[in-house]
Amino acid sequence: EVQLVESGGGSVQPGGSLRLSCATSGFAFDSATINWARQGPGKSGPGLEWLAGQNFAGVTAEYADSVRGRATISKDFAKKMVYLQLTDLRPEDTGMYFCTKETFFATYTTDYYPEYRGRGTQVTVSS
């Protein structure tokens, strides 16, 4: 059974940073594409907003325009963990952040419906 468990969310002031973690199990981590996505209060439509993804080898990373330059995705193959480092957080970054798993590596610019996702970790940015 695929399991994705997010942690590391919290409340921060604008300009702050957070490191989100995703613990994975139940699938071949070395061959999986893992993404980060979010559901924010300003998001229209039922799908998620895709934020960042890394291919199975951890070599190629892509980011959404909304977080490019402020987010870094990384993998720890030994621990089967995926991380999302967020810096210069803004109020519009507020939302529930999800770790997702896909069979193939791709980027998404419209509503994103992942194959698998965790329960999420809440990020709140306010002064």
pLDDT digits (tens, 9 = 90+) for 6-21: 999 999 999 999 999 9
Higher pLDDT, 23 or 58: 23
How would residue 78 be classed by pLDDT, with cut points 50, 70 and 90? Answer: very high
**41: pLDDT strictly greater than 80:** no
pLDDT of residue 2: 96
pLDDT of residue 21: 98
- CA 20, 26, 30, 36: dihedral to nearest 10 degrees? -30
pLDDT digits (tens, 9 = 90+) for 90-121: 999 999 999 999 988 888 888 899 999 999 99
How would residue 76 be classed by pLDDT, with cut points 50, 70 and 90? Answer: very high
Higher pLDDT, 25 or 42: 25
